[in-house]
Structure formats: C-alpha cells, structure tokens
Structure 1
Amino acid sequence: MKNELQEQEVRKAVGLVPRIGALAARASLDWFLLALIGMIGLAYLWPSIGIDRAPLSLGDIANYGLSLIFFFYGLRLSPEKLRVGLSSWKLHTVVQLSTFVLFPLLVLPLHAYFKGSSAEMLWLGAFYVAALPSTVSSSVVMVSIAGGNIPAAIFNASVSSILGIFITPLWMGLFLTASVEEFNIWQVLGKLILQVLLPVVLGILLNSRWGDFAEQNRKRLRYFDQSIILIIVYTSFCESFARDMFSSYSWVDLTLLGACMVGLFFLMYSLITLISRLMGFNREDKKTAVFCGSKKSLVHGTVMSKVLFPDANIVGIILLPIMVYHALQLLAASMIAQSMARKAGVEVKGE
C-alpha cells in the first residue's frame, strides 16, 4: 500500500513537470532569463574569473563578440524589409518619439528626488533604460503574435537600433559629463560607430550575398548573441561584487526597483495606447505602436555600457535595471500579445 502511494506521488510529480514547463514557456521564462540570474549568482560566488585580465580576458572576448552580434544583425536586415515599412510614417513617428523622448522625460524628473542618496546610481540605471532603443526580435515576435503590422515593426525596431547609437549617449551625457571626468561624448560616439554601426552597415552591404545564410541560421546566431550578453553581464557584475558596490543597497531598494520598472512599462503601454487612439490608428498599427514603443533592448544596454561607463565597478549596478525591465517586459508583453491574439480570433469568428 505504501509503495502504491509513493508511486502515485511520483507519477503526480512527473506529470507536474511538463505543466510547469508549459507555464514557464507561456510566461516567457526561457533559459536565457534564468541564465541571466545564474550569471549574477556566479559573479557573486567567483568574481575573480571575470576580472582576470591575462592572457585573454572574458571582457576581451565580449568586446569582439558584440561587434559580431551587430554584423550578423546587419546580415539579416535586407533593404527590402526597410522599404516595405516606410509608408506608415505617423506610426514610426509615434514609436520613435515614445522610445527616445517620452520614456526619458518620464524618468528625468525623479532625479531631483534621488540626487545625493544611495539610490542615485539605481536611478541612473533606470534613466539608462529610458534612453535605450527598442528591442528588435522580441518586438517583432510580439507584434506577430498579437496580429499587428509586422513590416512596420521590423522597420521601427531596425531604425530604433541605429538611432540609439547616437541618441542614447546624448541623453546619458547630461549626467555622465558632470560625474565622470573621462566621459567624452565624441569619443563615445566614435567607439559606438566603430563597434556597432560599422558592423551593421557592413552586414547590410553583404546581405545580398550572405543574408540567406543568416536567416537560415537565425536560431544559432541568437544563441551566440545571448552567450555574448551573458559574458558581459557576468564580467560586469564580477567587477561590482569584487569592489563591494552593492553593499549600500537593501532588499527593499531592489524590490522598489522592480516595482518601478513594472510601473514604467505599464505607464508607457497606457500612454502609447492613448496616443494611438488619438492618432486614429487602425487595430494593427495600435498593436505595433504599443509593443515597439514600450520595449527596451538588453542587447544595446549591455553593449553600450562597456563604452558609456568607463568605471567598470559601476556597470553591474547600471545594468541591473535593464535586466529587471527586460525580464518584466517579456512576461507582460507576451501575456498581452497572447490575449490580443485570442481576442482577435474571437472577433474574426464573430464576423
């Protein structure tokens, strides 16, 4: 009898595994999000590996890898895709202004409250989130799931990535020039052009020759992108943990940060929804506007952090808000996109 009960418990546990996996997949809790958390744990336990400089450091590998990320991105970005999305100029204007103007203006006034406090560095990280460009792949995926304007999503995500190379440093320069003596806006732009823009342009020029290869190996290239991001996150947190940079922050501070990132996402989502209605957008363009305008790029955040913040000790703290926002935007956006897809399906059946 006892053995039968044990077998029943085992079967229940085994049956629960796929349900948990399905729930995690539905909530976009993929291996990458879990790996990001794991990298922070590894950095806390073994920071010396990430700050070791000889003979070839993980930081050097990340520097070379980030240029390859944007080269492969350029390979997948055909001129035809950009031309298809050019027509919806009102939609593009709303998305880009939301990404690079409305977002920063919402976070900027809070500086007066946090200035001089121990949480000022976390605010700087939150402002960094607000100044970053939109995501590429996840924005397009969410728009596709929800039934939005996919060509316009591809166009906006691509243009946002390029504009961010110039606009993000300009926003951050408002505060870094005053607090970091080494910060030079022209030097930063030069580095970003060499490390990010030049590889993208080179990739676009080679799209006709190797574009099909990049599309066919899109999944493998995505794993490469994510691996480089994990290395950057690990080395950044190694520096911060080794210098004990998190000692002044409590769990209350970090919980408050998470709550603020959730609030920021839904505030932007609501504002863009309202603006889209006022602009008279159709259903597809509304979905494209809210998903492209409310998302922020972890890829650009990690890449630009290596250029924008010369003090490696603070990079882990600066990256913490974008990592939190990245996870939360995937969770929230995936649930909203799936809800929109179900609603659209019901409306089509009703018609």
Structure 2
Amino acid sequence: MRLPRIPFLDGFLAAMLLATGTALVYPPLGASGGWLHLEHVTNFGVAIVFLLSGAGLSRANLKAGAANWRLHLFVQSFTFIVFPLLGLLAALGLGRWLPPELLLGFFYLCALPSTVSSSIAMTSMARGNVAGAIFNATLSSLIGMVLTPLYISLWLHAAKQGTPLLDQFIKIGEQLLLPFLLGQLLRPWLGEWIVRHKHITSKVDRGVILLIVFNSFCDASAAQVWTRNGVAPLLITMALTGLLLALVLKLTHLVARRFAFNTEDEIAAVFCGSKKSLASGAPMAALIFAGSAGGTLGLIMLPIMLYHQLQLIVCSVIAKRYAQRPALVQHVS
C-alpha cells in the first residue's frame, strides 16, 4: 500500500535537516577552512544562482503586471516597512531573553525581500493575480539588494558594531547584482533552455542554499554556539517566527480587504506581502556577515530557516482554500 505524500515534507527539507544534523555531529567537514572549503565554493554558487535568475526573468511577464500600482505599493510597504518595524518591536520586547545574534537574525528575517518562486507558485495555485505576483516578487528582490544591507548596517551601527556600508554594497553588487544583470543580457541565448530545464535550475538554487546552511551551521557547531546558548532561546525563536507569520498573514488579509482589492489581487497581496526569501537571504547573509566572530552566522540564519518552512506549510493550506472558491461564470450574449 502506497503511503500518501505529505507536501511540505519534501526532499529539500529532508536535505536541510541532514545538513544541520551533520553539522552538529561533525562540524570540521563543512566549516570555513575545513576539508571542503565551502566558504569559497558558495561564493561561486551564489553568482551562478543569480545569473540563472536573471536569465530566467521574462520582461514580458513584468510588463503584464506593472500597471497595478496599488498592489505594488501594498506589497513593498509590507515587505520593507511593516516587517522591519515588527522586527524592531520584537527586539525591544525580547532583548533580555534572546542572545544578540538571534535578535539580529530575527531583524534580518524582517528586512529581507519577498520570495519569488513560492510566491508565484502559491498565487497560481490559489488562482490569483499571477502577473502581479511576478512583478512584485521580482521588484522586491531588486529593492532588497539595497534596503536589506542598509537596514542591517543601521542595526549594527546602533549596536556599535558598525560595518562599512559601502563595502556591503560592493559585495552585493559583485556577487548578486552583476550576475543578475549578466543573466538578463544572456537571456536571448539561455532563456528557453532555462524554461525547458526548470527542474535543473531549481536544484542548483536549493543546492547552493544547502551549502550555505551547512557551512554556517558547521562554523556555529565548531564555535560551540548551540551548547553555549542552550535550548530556551531556540524555542523562543521558533515561537516568535510562528507568531510573526500568523500576524503578518492576518494583517495582509485585513488591509487588502480594507483596500477593496478584488480576490485575485488580494491573493497576490497576501502571499507576496507575507513571505520572506531564504533564496536571497542565505546568499546575502553569507556576504553581509562574512567573517562573523564565533560562528554566529548559524544563529543569524536560524529565524529565516524556520520562517521559510513555516510559510510553505501554512501558505500551501491557504492557497488550497482560496482555490476552492467558485469560479466566475462569464455569460456570452
């Protein structure tokens, strides 16, 4: 008898659990300066991911969704204003219970752009405004290359751990933006191949994320970060990410109704406005927090890793509920 498949227990989650488990058991394998030298491998992988992302971006799809300015304003405001404010409020309220690295990680989660692939996939599954989702998810990724390091720089400056903002922008430009723009230039030659082999590019994306996660968790284990902080901060972080997702999903839904969006726009607003991108977050964290002392990158990335899986589980349920609504019947006279 064949067991039913549980959608959110996919190969990527299993691979991530295996990577983190291996990092806890034998950190020298993937630690920086270790056998695999992943700190160098991941830099090349990140560039390839963003090159493929640029080459796979259809300008026609962007143009199709560009006119709906109310939807764009809604999504980008939630992504880069409401989320960071919630992150600041959480930091003020929980500063005494969480180590600084986890507080920074939670704010980093709130400062990230929205997802691209899963936002579009959920919107399509729910029969929403797919063109609007494509435009907003892509716009969010581009804005995030500027605003995310800016927000983190302001946070670190306030914590008197200032890091040169110009250096961060140069790293982001070299490792993310330039490959993305190069991919756009190569789209006439690579675009059709990427469409035909979407499963390959998806595996490349996920493979690079797994390498970054493995490297950061190995560094954290080697520095005894997990044993040093204990279990309580991790449990608080899990509860906090779940509460954040529930709050933002409720807010996006209520505000979209207040704006009198039609159902298709509401769906795109809820999914694009509530999601955060591990695909962008992992590479940017590796660049922004490169050389972080004591293997703290693992703690910084923990909130986005937890939020990523939660949003897939919860939003897939919501998408299926949206999809069950009756289809509009058009009468031809």
TM-score (norm 1): 0.89
Q: Name whichever of 164-173 and 54-63 sits farther off.
A: 54-63
Q: 2: distance between equivalents of 1:172 and 1:54? A: 28
Offset at residue 116 of structure 1 (A)? 5.5
Shift of 1:46: 1.2
Superposed, which structure 2 residues align to 1:228-267 within 5 Å? 228-267=208-247
Matched, 1:219 2:204: no
What is the one-letter code of the residue matched to 1:142?
Answer: M
Alignment CA distance shift 1:194-1:212 (3 Å):
same
Q: Is the 8 A contact 2:29 2:35 kept in 1?
A: no
- Out of 169, 189, 200, the residue aligned to residue 189 of structure 1 is 169
Deviations 1:302-330 (A, max 9, x none): 10111111316110000110000000000
Equivalent position SS for 2:66: helix
Contact 2:28 2:35 in 1 (8 A): no
Superposed displacement of residue 209, structure 1:
2.1
Matches within 5 A, 1:1-351: 15=1, 17-19=2-4, 22=5, 24-25=6-7, 28-51=8-31, 53=33, 57-115=37-95, 117-179=97-159, 181=161, 183-310=163-290, 311=292, 313-344=295-326
CA distance in 1, matches of 2:144, 2:115: 11
CA distance, structure 2, for counterparts of residue 284 and residue 52 of structure 1: 46
8 Å CA contact 1:79–1:204 kept in 2: the answer is no
Counterparts of 1:111 and 1:210, CA distance in 2: 44
CA distance in 2, matches of 1:52, 1:194: 21
- How far the C-alpha of 1:52 sits from its partner, in A, is 5.2
Deviations for 1:198-250, whole angstroms, at most 9, x for unmatched residues?
Answer: 11111112212221011111111110111111011001001111001122333
Give SS of 1:247's match.
helix
The DSSP-based 3-state class of the residue aligned with 1:87 is coil
Please say if residues 56 and 187 of structure 2, whose CA atoms lie closer than 8 Å, have aligned partners that are also in contact: yes
1:148–1:284 contact (8 Å) kept in structure 2? yes
Distance 2:36 2:232 in 1: 38
Kindly provide the amino acid, as one letter, of the partner of residue 81 in structure 2.
Answer: V
Letter in 1 for 2:63: R
Structure-2 separation of matches of 1:191 and 1:121:
22
Deviation string, structure 1 residues 158-178 (Cα, Å, up to 9, x no partner): 111110000001111122234
CA contact (8 A) 2:97 2:233 kept: no
* Long gaps (5+) in structure 2: none
- Equivalents in 2 of 1:180, 1:44: separation in Å? 31
Change (3 A) 1:250 1:87: same
SS at match of 2:128: coil
Maintained 8 Å contact 1:183/1:308: no
Q: Is the 8 A contact 1:62 1:231 kept in 2?
A: yes
**4+ long deviations beyond 6 Å:** none
Residue of structure 2 equivalent to 1:12: none
Between the aligned residues of both structures, percent identity stands at 38
CA distance in 1, matches of 2:128, 2:91: 36
Tell which deviates more after alignment, 328-337 or 108-117.
108-117
Aligned residue-pair number: 328
Equivalent-residue separation in structure 1 for 2:315 and 2:148 (angstroms): 23
Separation of aligned partners in 2, 1:323 and 1:180 = 27
CA contact (8 A) 1:114 1:120 kept: no
1:59–1:231 CA contact under 8 A, matched in 2 = no
User: Which of the two has higher C-alpha Rg?
Assistant: 1
CA distance in 2, matches of 1:137, 1:55: 33
Moved more, 157-166 or 312-321: 312-321
CA contact (8 A) 1:133 1:296 kept: yes
Aligned equivalents of 2:231, 2:302: Cα separation in 1: 13
Q: Distance in 2 between matches of 1:153 and 1:163?
A: 15
Question: 1:29 Cα shift?
Answer: 1.8
Deviation at 1:274, TM superposition (A): 1.4
Task: Tell me how far apart the structure 2 counterparts of residues 288 and 61 of structure 1 sit (CA, whole Å).
Answer: 35
TM-score, with structure 2 as normaliser? 0.94
Deviation, 1:56, is 6.2
